[in-house]
Amino acid sequence: MSNHFTGLSLGPPLGDQRLDLCDLYAFQSPTDPARTVIILNANPNADALHPDAIYRLNIDNDGDLLTDIAISYVFSKPQNGKQMFNVFLAKGAESRSVEAVGKKIVADAEVSFGPKPNIVEAGEYKFFAGSRSDAFFFDFDGIKALFDIRGKRNFTEPHLATLGGKSPWTGVDSNTEANVFSTVIELPTSELAPKPVVHIWGRCSVRQDGKLLHVDRAGHPSVSSFFNTDDTKLEYNASEPVNDRKRWLDQFVHLMGHTGNYTREEAIAAIDKEGTLPDVMTFNPSKPAKYPNGRVFTDDVIDYRLAFLTKKECPPSGLKPHSDILKEFPFIGTPHQKKS
């Protein structure tokens, strides 16, 4: 997550950028603190999403890491530069179906590819789907300087001489003119029924040969980017949060031993403090949103993750958040115009 980069050899799911989940955000609406905004970004090319895929927000509100509310987005086949989207809302046991099930609350709304957002209201829910300015900021060249990126480990072996020595950072934000495809929902927080928290994770599934394959997931920012390998990415992306700790704890602990000289006990304590596993975003709407309580556009999630991995040995990058965030729905900025 924040996995615009998943290592140089970890490309998009099935080699298709449309299936690539980039970022997940959750925060109180700036215009009404009694409402929650959840944004799931995909496809760093910011063009149409996959017509055979389901893009889903899973919400657990009772702590069992099973879906209690599912919000599923499905998209039509693009035609003549246009694409339509539908949204389904399912609750309870029905929400655990892998299909886009439940009540259709948005029917054939138009995706926005230009600067003016098409905002769709359905009762007390508000929706948007389309191209927007990417709020994620990071120094990609600095990250490449910090980590040994050879082989299948990707961003998992720091150049130890870099830590405590010359800063790897270039001071250049690699994402200042990037767009992304955003799905944005704003709804009454009471609809989420937090007790007092909710766990949120994104899922992208695509139908191949009649079967629905789970090909990407989104929870904590930058976890997939740094903890995954070529050998594990397919299994990781298909796995469910309820199984995360049992399946992935040893791999995470092993990695943190390399990146930050953590002992096993220290690594588990750090994982438990953040709630890294299960890989879901935790949000308590009664407290200000700031990662790891939800996530807002100003959170420097790369600095956070690198401090986590290196036991605070990695210096901050010094980058500033993007300044084109909107004060009203859909909040994420107007898309950059493509240069001819």
Find out whether the peptide bond into 288 is cis, omega within 30 degrees of 0.
Answer: no
- pLDDT tens across 235-269, in order? 999 999 999 999 999 999 999 998 889 999 999 99
pLDDT, tens only, 99-156: 999 999 999 999 999 999 999 999 999 999 999 999 999 998 888 888 766 654 555 5
| Lowest mean pLDDT across 182-191, 207-216, 227-236 | 227-236
pLDDT value of position 150: 61
Share of the chain above pLDDT 90, in %: 78
- pTM here is 0.94
pLDDT at position 313, please?
87
pLDDT band (50, 70, 90) for residue 314: confident
Mean pLDDT of 210-228: 92
Confidence of residue 8 (pLDDT cuts 50, 70, 90): very low
Three-state secondary structure of the chain: CCCCCCCCCCCCHHHCHHHCEEEEEEEEECCEEEEEEEEEEECCCCCCCCCCEEEEEEEECCCCCCCCEEEEEEECCCECCECEEEEEEEEHHHHHCCCCCCEEEEEEEECECCCCCCCEEECCEEEEEEEEECCCCCCHHHHHHHEECCHHHCCCEECCCCCCCCCCCCCCCCCCCCEEEEEEEEEEHHHHCCCCCEEEEEEEEEEECCEEEEEEEECCCCHHHHHCCCCCHHHHHHCCHHHHHHHHHHHHHHHHHHHHCCCHHHHHHHHHHHCCCCCCEEECCCCCCECCECECCCCCHHHHHHHHHCCCCCCCCCCCCCCCCCCCCCCCCCCCCCCC
pLDDT tens digits for range 23-60: 999 999 999 999 999 999 999 988 999 999 999 999 99
- pLDDT tens digits along 50-102: 999 999 999 999 999 999 999 999 999 999 999 999 999 999 999 999 999 99
CB 192 within 8 A of CB 59: yes
Res 144: pLDDT: 80
The pLDDT of residue 218 is 96
